[in-house]
Amino acid sequence: MKKIAVVTGATRGIGLAISQKLSQDGFFIVGISRADNQEANDSWVNSLSNDCRLFKCDVTSLLAVEEVIAKISELEGSVHLLVNNAGITSDSFFHKMSLESWKSVIDTNLNSLFYITQPIYKIMKENGGGKIINISSVNGQKGQAGQVNYSSSKAGVHGFTMALAQEGARSNILVNTISPGYTNTEMMKNIRVDILQGIKDNIPLGRLAEPKEIANVASFLASDCCSYITGANIPVNGGLFIG
Ligand code: NDP
């Protein structure tokens, strides 16, 4: 029986690294990607070690998510794992932040968790268990100027994790958060060089994380070795909280 892992935001950055690592671990990856970029999609499929499927879906659209869930339900195998990874930033100081910027970040980073997780959680309950990994952020843990929208959404992600972990425990559904620190992906490419240097100077390990360093933690949480951790928020941030 195929062990299906659903990964949102699968074709780039941290989602790509998680897809590749979980595929190496033996999962059948169902990737969810918003972009209709055939080249990127083909390269995603070719970079995985196992069978996989990629579905186009905007996670902010309940209708689009329902359509994808119907397609996942038709696949052979059972859904063991969901990784809620898709996310965006839309930074500005709060006094200048538009309602659109606030809503788009909350829709993508938080409301999408409701749309996708609820049907998959029901499937996991019927199957007798499963695992859910939510990707939050260091800035959801400590807040970040210029990111009131993002920090709110990412703090909400861990609230979601803690509450659902309590509900899911009796059904053998383990729910955890990973909170990456600053990670070397396209999300960081918009940051000014001098600000980026300041960020690195503040990280005890002196560098950004590589996406595969986040994926390795997801791999552990997804594995059979991890059977007694639920409701946790695992920081992978190069030591940002030391001292
Ligand atoms: P990227 O910008 O590299 O990738 C974001 C991914 O999310 C893309 O695959 C994108 O899809 C997908 N996505 C965005 N909006 C939607 C949507 N509406 N529907 C479907 N997919 C969508 O970001 P990262 O890899 O850096 O980030 C991954 C996660 O990690 C995010 O949740 C982010 O907040 C979090 N994170 C990142 C950090 C960093 O420093 N990079 C630090 C802490 C947390 P598409 O390619 O189709 O646009």
Residue having the nearest C-alpha atom to atom 33 of ligand 1: 87
What pLDDT digit, counting tens, does each position of 137-184 carry?
Answer: 999 999 999 999 999 999 999 999 999 999 999 999 999 999 999 999
> Residue 19 Cα, ligand 1 centroid: separation in angstroms?
13
Q: State the pLDDT at residue 243.
A: 63
Distances (CA, A) of 229 to 5, 15, 137, 161, 197: 18, 22, 19, 12, 35
> Residue 128 Cα, ligand 1 centroid: separation in angstroms?
30
Q: State the pLDDT at residue 35.
A: 86
What pLDDT digit, counting tens, does each position of 21-60 carry?
Answer: 999 999 999 999 998 888 888 999 999 999 999 999 999 9
The answer for residues whose C-beta is within 8 angstroms of residue 195's C-beta and 6 or more apart is: none
| Full-model pTM | 0.98
SS3 230: coil
**Pocket of ligand 1 from Cβ distances under 6 Å:** 8-9, 11-15, 33-35, 58-60, 85-88, 108, 135, 137, 180, 182-183, 185-188
Smallest CA-to-CA distance from 61 within 107, 103, 98, 105 is with 107
What pLDDT digit, counting tens, does each position of 183-225 carry?
Answer: 999 998 888 899 999 999 999 999 999 999 999 999 999 999 9
Residue having the nearest C-alpha atom to atom 3 of ligand 1: 13
What pLDDT digit, counting tens, does each position of 63-97 carry?
Answer: 999 999 999 999 999 999 999 999 999 999 999 99
Other Cβ atoms closer than 10 A to 207? 10
SS3 93: coil
Residue bearing tokens 């959404």: 153
All domains of the chain in start order, with CATH: 3-181+210-236 (3.40.50.720)
